[in-house]
Structure 1
Amino acid sequence: MKSLVVLLALGVATATLPACGRPDDPGAGRPVAATAAVPSAVPSNGTAPSGSPPARVGFGGPGRTASPKPADAVPRAGNPHGGAAVPAQARAVDTSRPTRTVGNGTPAGCTSAAVVRAVAAGGIITFDCGPDPVTITMTATAKVVNRVGGRVVLDGGGKVTLSGGGSRRILYLNTCDGAQNWTTSHCQNQDHPTLVVQNLTFRDGNSTGERAEGGGGGAIFVRGGRFRVVNSRFVDNRCDRTGPDLGGAALRVLSQYDNQPVYVVNSTFTGGICANGAALSSIGVSWTVLNSVFRNNRAVGSGANPARGGTPGGGSGGAIYCDGNAFTVRIAGTIIEDNRANEGGGAIFFVSNDRTGTMRIEGSTLRRNPSAGFETKGLPGIFFLGARAPTLTTSHLT
């Protein structure tokens, strides 16, 4: 028991997150409304535990939970005209030999309970729900158990929608959550598990009221390990509407291993609503976003960060909200349009508190992303504080 107490204390001590950026930081000057023209372009290795659970199929079955409803044909995710090269480490996982399968060939076998059990067991997970698209409404959040091994992969085959029903978060990984088993003494910086979601739709997730780790992550919350998203869609997800630093209606990510980037590839984010970062939100995390689309997401908080007197705070990063110290953001082959922030950065809010963070935008289009409060002069839709001005290459900002 004594060793457990010591381990818990160590985790708490090392899990402190970076301070939040301040839009009117005196070191950088107050933010200004951007009406200027678009600027011209300017130029370890840990070892994951072995031994994933043995292969198993047929996690579905009658009488578990309500059967999923048929879904409309699922549109293609991402920007088909993106053109950004996708590195090997960012591609979809080969799931031709799954560890386990949700379902038994019919929609009735594809239940919330089956998804929860499969995610807890880990490995490569596929779905067998019949020939037509299906929506599985989750009656509980699927949670990764950290001791399952090195990798948890969910592949919907382009036909499966996981829905939070407007009332719950859909998927959760947290290497610092003792309830999901601590596997190292440095939970905030370990290389496992790796979580990959691919060929899936996440709809109507809602983390409103979740307070652990600061909340956020209406569809997916991740802390620790490694995480990537490939060929997936995020539709109408929600998190709390107020809070100075809370965010991520679709994705909230903290503490990635050795600050390696979260990859978001060929994916689409629409209709998200949250205090900040109505698609993506993070603290101290790097991102590489390739050939993706962000459309009609809204940061609806009020008062920015830190919150102005008499306000609850929030309202920045209509699509993307990034805060912390040393981190990077690369956006390539991506469309970010028609998003909105009540405060700063209708498209992107980027604050590196120690001014070491950098951002690159390549072959991308950012348009019609109003910032109702403030943004960086010459960068429509963006509020940026970092090591130097963002690098823009063959991109269009209007």
Structure 2
Amino acid sequence: MRLSVLAPLALLAATAVAVPSYAGAAVRPAPGAPALNGAEPALRTTLATTTDRGVERVAVPKEARAADTSNPTRVIGRGTPASCTSRKVVRAVAKGGVITFRCGPDPVVIRMRHTVKVNNTHRRVVLDGGGLVTLSGAGKRRILYENACDPSRGLRLRNCQDSPRPQLVVQNIGLANGNSSGDLDYGGGGGAIFSYGGRLKVVNVTFTDNRCDRTGPDLGGGAVRARFQYHNEPVYVVHSTFVGGRCSNGAALSSINVSWTVLNSVFSGNRAIGYGANPRRPHTPGGGSGGAIYTDGEDYTVRIGGTLMRRNHANEGGGAVFYVSNDRTGRLHIYWSTLKDNVSERFETRPGIFYEGHGPIDVRHSIIR
């Protein structure tokens, strides 16, 4: 049985997936998007025209929804917690395909003894925990790794930074206590998930207490680090919760030259703990920006819709969000969201946000304070 709706900040003791509670809320279209083309009939019929501000659930485009796992390629476990092991998870993901779990009716934590790595010989890997499974890095290791440019993953794909594969879909699962500290290959970061090239999608995932290196001017992603995505298509993060992340920058999400679409999610209690900013001040290691989200680059877009960001903290700038488009071609969009009580210790352009992009931030029907 999959968990469906829980209170926004409630976690099942880091053993199952928590989902923001938007039950009964009107579903809002993204600014400039067609009126939910391809959306479920239930979503189309619940559209409302009210201009109430703050968190409201927004429509999720078809390509951002969970993958169909009704006919899995592989099933981990034989119906008991003991049958679901780190070794089986590593082997299943290495073989690719659609992967589900059968670990019994209760939430289970699988303590990972090795990082789970995606092989570049596969077009797509879907990892679905069924709302009951949490993978734990035990504070010692990164949990998931996908890298189209890493020849150790079977082959280095041609034009790997713009490769359409592998596609990694992580859904209905918890990722806790991942730690990529000290692993600086390909720029480092990504305590729970590291993605370099290919495509990444995250749906209904709870990220708890994930870590990456404490300092570094452009290093980030306590939970997720993304570097390059196929044709600059966005990383979708949907119905997911990020709590307790720690990293130099972007204690939840971090990227360079990557677009993001973050929908119906919660970010709380994440901290950018570096210091010295970027470029780093003299005699400092740099970092400390983007308490929850840190993005840098040129022509890229970040969209945040139907999302609560509260009580995140940055030692430098952007207690909730740090967004810089170096050539001022990219833009940040925030709609039907609430950003509140996010602390920027040294600088911000709006409460909890540091932004440099094309024109002002596109803010609609949102609370920022």
Q: TM-score range by the shorter chain?
A: 0.7 to 0.9
Q: Does 1:289 align with 2:262?
A: yes
SS of 2:360's equivalent in the other structure is coil
Distance 1:179 1:198, change over 3 A: same
Offset of 1:74 from its aligned partner?
2.9
Contact in 1 for aligned 2:15/2:174 (Cα 8 Å)? no
Deviations 1:23-71 (A, max 9, x none): xxxxxxxxxxxxxxxxxxxxxxxxxxxxxxxxxxxxxxxxxxxxxxx97
Deviations 1:198-222 (A, max 9, x none): 0000000000000101110000100
In structure 2, the residue matched to 1:86 is 60
Give the letter for the 1:141 counterpart: T
The partner residue of 2:88 within 88, 92, 114 is 114
Cα offsets for 1:230-272 (capped at 9, x unmatched): 0110000000000000000000001100000000000000000
**How big is the shift at 1:72?**
7.0
Partner residue of 2:150? 177
Contact 1:79 1:334 in 2 (8 A): no
1:193-232 mapped onto 2 (5 Å cutoff)? 193-232=166-205
* SS class of match (1:197): strand
In structure 1, what is the equivalent of residue 357 of structure 2?
386
Unaligned runs of 5+ in 1: 1-69
Distance change in 2, residues 1:73/1:204 (3 Å): closer
* CA deviations over 1:70-103 (Å, ceiling 9, x no partner): 9776353235254200000000011010000111
Cα distance in 2 between the residues matched to 1:238 and 1:72: 15
Q: What is the alpha-carbon distance in structure 2 between the residues aligned to residue 92 and residue 75 of structure 1? A: 14
Question: Residue 78 of structure 1 contacts residue 265 of structure 1 at CA under 8 Å; is this kept in 2?
Answer: no
* SS of residue in 1 equivalent to 2:89: helix
Compare 256-265 and 174-183 and name the one that shifted more: 174-183
Fraction of identical pairs, as percent: 61
**Separation of aligned partners in 2, 1:76 and 1:375:** 30
2:71 corresponds to which of 93, 97, 117: 97
Letter of the structure 1 residue corresponding to residue 137 of structure 2:
G
CA distance in 2 between partners of 1:334 and 1:147 (Å):
35
Q: Tell me the equivalent position of 1:331.
A: 304
| Corresponding residue of 2:333 | 360
Q: Which runs of 5+ in 2 are unaligned?
A: 1-11, 26-55
Task: Map residues 14-163 of structure 1 onto 2, 5 A cutoff.
Answer: 74=16, 76-80=18-22, 82-148=56-122, 150-163=123-136
- The change in CA–CA distance for 1:90 and 1:103 in structure 2 (over 3 A counts) is same
Structure whose alpha-carbon radius of gyration is higher:
1
Q: Is contact 2:150–2:156 with CA below 8 Å preserved after alignment? A: no
**Partner in structure 2 of residue 243 of structure 1:** 216
Whole-angstrom CA distance in 1 between matches of 2:101 and 2:115: 17
Query: Counterpart of 1:37?
Result: none
- Per the alignment, residue 45 of structure 2 pairs with none
Alpha-carbon RMSD across the aligned residues, in angstroms, is: 1.3
Q: Which has the higher contact order (CA 8 A, sep 6+)?
A: 1
Give me the whole-angstrom Cα distance separating, in 2, the residues matched to 1:349 and 1:73: 30
Moved more, 250-259 or 177-186: 177-186
| Number of the residue aligned with 1:343 | 316
Partner secondary structure for residue 344 of structure 2: coil
Partner secondary structure for residue 248 of structure 1: coil
1:79–1:292 contact (8 Å) kept in structure 2: no
Q: Structure 1 residue 184: deviation in Å?
A: 3.2
Residues 72 and 319 (structure 1), Cα distance of their counterparts in 2 relative to 1, 3 Å cut: closer
- When residues 72 and 226 of structure 1 are mapped into structure 2, their CA distance, relative to the original with a 3 A threshold, is closer
Judged with a 3 Å threshold, the aligned counterparts in structure 2 of structure 1 residues 71 and 300 are, in CA distance, closer, same or farther, namely closer
Tell me the distance in 1 between the aligned counterparts of 2:16 and 2:88.
22
- Cα distance in 1 for partners of 2:153, 2:14 equals 35
State the distance in 2 between where 1:77 and 1:163 align.
Answer: 19
Whether the 8 Å CA contact 1:253–1:281 is kept in 2: the answer is yes
Letter matched to residue 359 of structure 2 = R
Pairwise CA distance, 1:295: 0.3
Partner Cα distance (2:295, 2:302) in 1: 9
Normalised TM-score (structure 2):
0.87
| CA distance in 2: counterparts of 1:306 and 1:113, whole angstroms | 42
TM-score when normalising by structure 1: 0.80
**What is the aligned partner in structure 2 of residue 18 from structure 1?**
none
Aligned to 1:318: 291
Go from structure 1 to structure 2 and tell me whether the alpha carbon gap of 1:252 and 1:75 turns closer, same or farther (over 3 Å shift): closer
Provide the rounded CA distance (Å) in 2 between the counterparts of 1:73 and 1:169.
Answer: 18
Deviation at 1:143, TM superposition (A): 0.2
Distance (Å, rounded) in 1 between the aligned partners of 2:311 and 2:13? 26
Task: Tell me if the contact between 2:309 and 2:339 (Cα under 8 Å) persists in the aligned partners.
Answer: yes
- State the SS of the aligned residue for 2:90: helix
1:306 is displaced (CA, Å) by 1.1
2:13, 2:77 → 1: CA distance? 16
